Amino acid sequence: MSAREEVLHRIRRATKDVTEPDPVVDVPVDWAYGRPLGTEDVIADFVEKVEDYKAAVRRCAPDRAADTIVEALQALDTKSIVVPAGFPEPWVTALSEAGFTLHSDDPQLTHAELNAIDAVVTTAAVGMADSGTIALDHGEGQGRRALTLLPDRHICVVHEYQVVSDVPEGIARLAPGLRERRPVTWLSGGSATSDIELSRVEGVHGPRHLSVVLVAD
């Protein structure tokens, strides 16, 4: 008996008791893509997972968001910031009044100019608790991808209502942007990689520091 015949023989033997040819009918799956997990506390799970990636998380009430963003930037010894279009104006005003040097991306900054700027501030599209991942679909307040890849520090504002249980549920939230063919940038802590000896190197393909401002509903 050839190897092929042996494989087919084993398949026939394993499936000889299957009488229903339609696998959907034979083994019904009570599951739908994007359905939320039964996580007891999605926000607490999100905070724990984000902090596991060595990212800082600051929680605040809506009326404290601007002050908390300023605190996050000051904690990272930031002087200059690139602010994408659509970032809430009251927050931009607070940054200006705090003494930061603000840069607009209109006209677009060069890669060299972005690399010389200390930090970028953005909003987000969705946060996924099960993996501690934040996704940007580069809509209003998020800027183009280069803005979140070249500066050394990234302050990302996430609202609690944007936090979902896991990645499939997050993908469902991202669907409108994906249908518009917008790029998606995935953040799981600051940029880092390890060589074969597990020597950690930070900032190889993105900001070394990620600080999340989590705004309560």
The pLDDT tens digits of the residues spanning 144-193 come to 999 999 999 999 999 999 999 999 999 999 999 999 999 999 998 766 66
197 confidence band (pLDDT: 50, 70, 90): low
- Per CATH, the number for 34-215 is 3.40.50.10420
Tell me the chain's radius of gyration from C-alpha atoms: 23
Tokens 């597990």 — which residue?
198
Give the pLDDT score at 56: 94
Residues 6+ apart with CB under 8 A from 175: none
Give the pLDDT score at 19: 85
78 confidence band (pLDDT: 50, 70, 90): very high
Name which of 80, 92, 50 is nearest 214 in CA terms: 50
Give the pLDDT score at 16: 87
Instruction: Give the predicted TM-score (pTM) of the model.
Output: 0.81
Name which of 208, 87, 86 is nearest 149 in CA terms: 208
Name which of 43, 46, 96 is nearest 66 in CA terms: 96
Sheet containing 126-128: which strands, arranged edge to edge?
163-164, 126-128, 133-136, 185-187
Name which of 217, 162, 211, 164 is nearest 187 in CA terms: 211
Give mean pLDDT, residues 12-34: 83
